[in-house]
Every structure is written in structure tokens, then in C-alpha cells.
Amino acid sequence: MSQTEAAASHAKAPNDLESLWLPFTPNRHFKRDPRLVARAKDMHYFKPDGTPVLDGTAGLWCANAGHCRDKIVSAIQAQAAELDFAPSFQFSHPKAFEVANQLVAMTPEGLDYAFFCNSGSEAADTALKMAIAYHRANGEASRTRLIGRERGYHGVGFGGISVGGMSPNRKFYGSLLPGVDHLPHTYNRAEQAFTRGEPAWGAYLADELQRLVDLHDASTIAAVIVEPMAGSTGALPPPQGYLKRLRELCDKHGILLIFDEVITGFGRLGHATAAERFGVTPDIMTFAKGVTSAAVPMGGAMVGRHVYEAFQSGPDHMIDLFHGYTYSGHPLAMAAALATFELYREEGLFERARANEAAFADAAFTLKGHPLVLDIRTIGMVAAFDLAPVEGLMGKRGYDAMCNAFHEQNIMVRVSGDTIAFSPPLIIEEAQMGELFERFKKALDAVA
Ligand SMILES: Cc1ncc(COP(=O)(O)O)c(C=O)c1O
């Protein structure tokens, strides 16, 4: 068969799963036993055969307002017909400014400007580049070192994986960025197991930043980046007082503090941002995911006036920041964001998440005592379960639980190693919380 004939015969086989290489997925196993969804509405996905699947993860921590919400769908449809694209280098369009204004209003005082990109990974790399360039613009070009944290996740760009602290995401990719160091992670099962909200133990771990300053000298450090609640390695709420301590040390040493709020933004912790919940404002805050309730890819970075203004001293015709993406401020994303913000406001979804936090935690904690459950952590509309691993096969228990949950129990959960995380759309009803964890228990029983 010629190459053209082979391609044509391939195209005639719509159910052939072979050609697609899925991200962060064991592809061989997936293709033998695929987990496919074909449609979604509100709290549910629907399998190709129409079976509803209760969404315990808001897709991937992102569809915070629920799926295919009419207001967002109509806004995207109308926008596609009105202005499909506008360049954001040297040009723009009105909705981009409107989104920026609303973001400034939604985020804590001290975050005065919004920069747009298309994903959380781009947002993290944007924030890191801004931090290094900020110090250079201020005449402190020696401040290039970036400090991340073990068990941190900041997407998959080279910047993000360098400051990130998940070894499988790092070890395949060479030497990464130079001049990076890491704070220790904040999880300690012996001290924190089965905590709701912020654990009492562990604030002192922020003082490790002082150790890194002593080691490297503040004059070499540009920024510290942390997720206020580490999400991807299993939902680790910050110890009480930890973030305040980090803020104090950053202030003391002229280091920029970056919060990666890609997961925690837009109501996940019962507030517009985790910064608001924890009463700590960073210099730069990344966001993505919930900004459009996942309906159109979008991300960005909010920055303080001091950061923006550091770049405003060149000649009038000169570009101030040599960074950006073709699709920064894409009209479809802007329309989706504006409609999403309206839904968040009209339905009081952040307040709803706050009001539901205790009920959600109660429902999750009904699994305490299950023989496979080693720890449960909850905060906002997040719950994570550490499962007892299968001996010698790290991640197998979690994977099997996730597969069983989808195929047999018709719920979608997020797996990370042997941890299963829940982060449902904020519109979840109390009865659905009960249903979610009852079905999860059955999945655990099946893989015990
Ligand atoms: C904290 C954090 N930062 C960055 C990212 C990367 O976002 P994206 O997958 O949109 O690139 C994620 C994704 O889960 C995240 O949780």
C-alpha cells in the first residue's frame, strides 16, 4: 500500500485510537480500555453510549461553573461570528481590556495589571520571566535565581518543570534551567493526617527560605513561586501561617513572591483567589483553568503596579516586555471569560463553594476508616485521598481506582500516583456530594 492509500484507509476507520498520543496517560493501556466522553452538561459528562458520568474533578480542576453553560456557550458562539481573532502585539480589542479590568477587581488589592496567555504552563513561564526581567529593569541583574518547592507543579514548560518539584516531570528532560533551588514540601502525614483545611503543623518550613537566602545570598534571588495549595501532587493545603511567613521573608529580602493560582483561582477554595482566603498578596499571580470555566483555553498573570511600572521607562516607541503569545487575549477566550465571570457573580458560586465546604468535607470523611485510605485532606471544594499502594507497584492502586470509578461507578476522579483528588464543579448539589463519595467507596472496595 502506498503512503497515501494507507492514510486514506486509516481515515476511514473513525474508531481507530492509535494515531493520538495522549498527554500524561499510559497510552497502551488506554487504547485497550479507553475512557471516552462525548458530551457534557452541568455536573455530568456523557459516555458515547449516553451513560452519564458525575464529574468529580471539574474536568481537570477547570470547569468550575459546570459544563456547557448556556451563557458561556452563547457568548462564544456570538464572538466567533463577530471577531474571530485580533492580534495582541501592537493591537488589541475592547473585550481584552474589559477582562483585565474585571480581573483587577476580582483579585486582591495590589494586583493591578493583567497579562494574557493560553494555559497554566505559559502563565508560570510568563511569571518567572517577568520576575527575572523586573529585577534587571530595576538595575539588579544579578537576581536571576528562582526558588520553587518540592511537590510543586507549575505546568510543563522548561521554566515550570525547573521550579516544579515532581520528579517524573523533571527527570527525563536534562539539566533544566540553571540557578534554581527548592523549598521543602509541607506535607507530613504523621503530623497532619486527616486534617480539614490548613494543618496546624508546618509553618516553620517557610523559614527554609531564610536558609536558601543565607546559602545563595538575596542578591542572586529573583522570585519564589509556590502554589498556595499544592494541587497536582495530591492537594496539600498550606500549614497555618506558612504563606504569611513566606511573604515576610520575601519582603525582607527584596524577593518577588509568585502564587500559582491556576487551580486555586476562581472559587476553588471558596474565594476568588487563595490569596484572598489566606490574606496574603503575592507580587505576581498566575491563573488559567477556571477563568473561562475551561470552555476556551486561557491563562495569564496578574502583577502589582511596581512590576508593571519597572518596564515603563524606555522610549515611547519601544516594546516594554519582550514576551507574549499569538493568542494572548484571544477574542473567544475573552468572551468566554466575561460570560464566566457573570455566571460566577449571578450564581454566587464562590460563596456557594465557601458555604458548601463543610458539607463536602463531611461527605469525603465518610471514607475515613476504609482500609485503603491512609489520609484524607479537604479544603474548599477539594478533597484528596492517599491510598495504600500495591506493594512494589507505585501508582497502580490509584490508577485501578480511577479506571473502576469511571467504568463501573460512572464518576470521574483525578489520579496522581496513589492519590485520588476530587474538585467538582462549584455548582455541585449536596446530594451529589454524597453520591460521589458513595460511588468512590465502591470503586475502592473493588480494587482493595
Ligand atoms: C498550579 C498549576 N500550574 C500550572 C498548571 C499547568 O496548566 P496547563 O495544563 O493549563 O498548562 C497546572 C495544571 O494543572 C497547575 O495545577
Residue 42 β-bridge partners: 67
Say which DSSP state 165 is in.
-
> Distance from CA of residue 82 to its chain's centroid?
31
Residue 110: how many CB atoms within 10 A of its CB? 15
pLDDT at 9 over 80: no
CB-defined site of ligand 1, < 6 Å:
61, 119-121, 124, 153-155, 227, 231-232, 260, 262-263, 288
Cβ atoms of residues 52 and 44 within 8 Å: yes
pTM for the model: 0.96
Q: Ligand 1 centre from 9 Cα, in Å?
A: 37
Contacts of 23 (CB under 8 A, 6+ apart): none
Q: At what angle do helices 349-365 and 430-447 cross, to 10 degrees?
A: 40
**Which grid cell sits at 287?**
491563573
pLDDT at 368 over 90: yes
Q: Report the atom number in ligand 1 closest to the C-alpha of 227.
A: 1
Residue type, 135: H
pLDDT at 7 over 80: no
Cβ atoms of residues 321 and 311 within 8 Å: yes
Q: Report the atom number in ligand 1 closest to the C-alpha of 152.
A: 1
Say which DSSP state 5 is in.
H
Say which DSSP state 314 is in.
S
pLDDT at site 330: 98
| Residue 9 buriedness (CB in 10 A; 0-12 / 13-18 / 19+) | exposed
pLDDT at 11 over 80: no
Between residues 214 and 6, the one the model is more confident about: 214
Q: Report the atom number in ligand 1 closest to the C-alpha of 120.
A: 7
C-alpha closest to that of 286 among 246, 226, 221 = 226
Q: Report the atom number in ligand 1 closest to the C-alpha of 121.
A: 11
pLDDT in tens, 120-136: 999 999 999 999 999 99
**Which grid cell sits at 399?**
490508577
Minimum CA distance residue for ligand 1 atom 16? 263
pLDDT at site 335: 99
**CA geometry: angle at 379 spanning 302 and 117, to 5°?**
25
Domains of the chain as residue ranges with CATH: 20-68+348-447 (3.90.1150.10), 72-346 (3.40.640.10)
Site to probe by mutation for ligand 1, drawn from 153, 225, 261 as the one with most ligand atoms within 8 Å of Cβ, is 153
Say which DSSP state 207 is in.
G
pLDDT in tens, 373-422: 999 999 999 999 999 999 999 999 999 999 999 999 999 999 999 999 99
In angstroms, the CA 36 to CA 43 distance is 16
pLDDT at site 213: 98
In angstroms, the CA 387 to CA 373 distance is 5
Cβ atoms of residues 238 and 278 within 8 Å: yes
At 2, is the pLDDT very low, low, confident or very high (cuts 50, 70, 90)? low
pLDDT in tens, 174-201: 999 999 999 999 999 999 999 999 999 9
Give percent of the chain with pLDDT exceeding 70: 97
Counts of helices then strands in the chain (DSSP H, E): 17, 15
**CA geometry: angle at 57 spanning 237 and 395, to 5°?**
75
Cβ atoms of residues 68 and 433 within 8 Å: no
Distances (CA, A) of 348 to 27, 41, 266: 40, 19, 11
pLDDT in tens, 157-176: 999 999 999 999 999 999 99
> Distance from CA of residue 391 to its chain's centroid?
30
Sheet with 414-416, strands from edge to edge, namely: 373-379, 382-387, 419-422, 414-416
In angstroms, the CA 194 to CA 377 distance is 6
Q: Ligand 1 centre from 2 Cα, in Å?
A: 42
Q: Ligand 1 centre from 231 Cα, in Å?
A: 9
pLDDT in tens, 93-108: 999 999 999 999 999 9
Helix (H, G, I), strand (E, B) or coil at 139: coil
Q: Ligand 1 centre from 169 Cα, in Å?
A: 13
Q: Ligand 1 centre from 166 Cα, in Å?
A: 13
Cβ atoms of residues 405 and 440 within 8 Å: yes
pLDDT at site 16: 87
Minimum CA distance residue for ligand 1 atom 8? 120
